[in-house]
């Protein structure tokens, strides 16, 4: 018998579907995709969990690094890895999200510390395990709409 577990990639897929449903509601983005390849210097390749396209295939609006609820969204390694992907790809915004807390960061702001680049923080859910996500579809969709609306303001 095969056991299927709802892990991080399963959550990415669910959120990706919900993001694309919301984007279709007249937001200025062309869609969202999972794990788009970004090539860094020296040929290193990275794959952000979720990419939100502003103008596909040339302009990404934001990348989201999605982690398990136990991972701190302010974890230095997580934030640095997301910042590196966004910087090398010329993406103006990135986010770190552990399903419970979501932080939107600004990639480019010379002369500021990383914490000064934090634009918004949302408390989204209060769950312990990824499989609980599906029970909160409505709340997550409301949050995603709020997040995408806030992100859209930076593009207007």
The arithmetic mean of pLDDT across residues 10-38, rounded, is 91
Confidence of residue 26 (pLDDT cuts 50, 70, 90): confident
* Interatomic CA distance for residues 142 and 107, integer angstroms: 25
Q: Which residues, 6 or more positions from 135, have their beta carbon under 8 angstroms from its beta carbon?
A: none
Residues 110-122, mean pLDDT to the nearest whole number: 74
**What is d(CA 98, CA 125) in angstroms, rounded to the nearest whole number?**
9
- Mean pLDDT rounded to a whole number for the chain: 87
> Which pLDDT score, from 0 to 100, does residue 6 have?
67
CA distance 140 to 101: 11
Question: What angle, 0 to 180 degrees and rounded to 10, lies between the N-to-C axes of helices 137-153 and 8-23?
Answer: 60
Complete DSSP assignment for 19-77:
HHHHHTTT-S--EEEES--EEPGGG-EE--SEEEEEETTTEEEEEEEE--TTS-TT-HH
For 70-113, the pLDDT digits (tens) are: 999 999 999 999 998 898 888 899 999 999 999 999 987 666 66
Check pLDDT > 80 for residue 59: yes
| Stretch 45-60: mean pLDDT | 88
Percentage of residues in the chain having pLDDT higher than 70: 90
Q: 5's torsion region: left (phi>0), alpha (psi -120 to 50) or beta? A: beta
CA 45 – CA 98 distance, rounded (Å): 23
Helix (H, G, I), strand (E, B) or coil at 135: helix
Per-residue pLDDT reduced to its tens digit, 128-152: 998 899 899 999 999 999 999 999 9
pTM confidence score: 0.87
Residue 29 structure tokens:
């983005």
């Amino acid at each position: 018998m095969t056991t299927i577990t709802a892990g991080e990639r399963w959550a990415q897929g669910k959120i990706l579907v919900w993001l694309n449903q919301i984007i279709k509601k007249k937001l200025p983005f062309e869609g969202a995709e999972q794990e788009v390849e970004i090539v860094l210097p020296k040929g290193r390749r990275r794959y952000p969990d979720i990419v939100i396209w502003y103008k596909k295939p040339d302009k990404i609006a934001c990348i989201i690094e999605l982690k398990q609820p136990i991972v701190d969204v302010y974890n230095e390694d997580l934030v640095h890895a997301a910042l590196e992907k966004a910087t090398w790809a010329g993406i103006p915004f990135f986010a770190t999200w552990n399903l419970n807390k979501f932080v939107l960061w600004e990639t480019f702001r010379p002369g500021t510390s990383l914490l000064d680049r934090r634009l918004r923080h949302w408390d989204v859910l209060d769950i312990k395990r990824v499989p609980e996500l599906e029970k909160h579809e409505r709340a997550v969709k409301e949050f995603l709409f709020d997040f995408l609306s806030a992100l859209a303001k930076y593009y207007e």
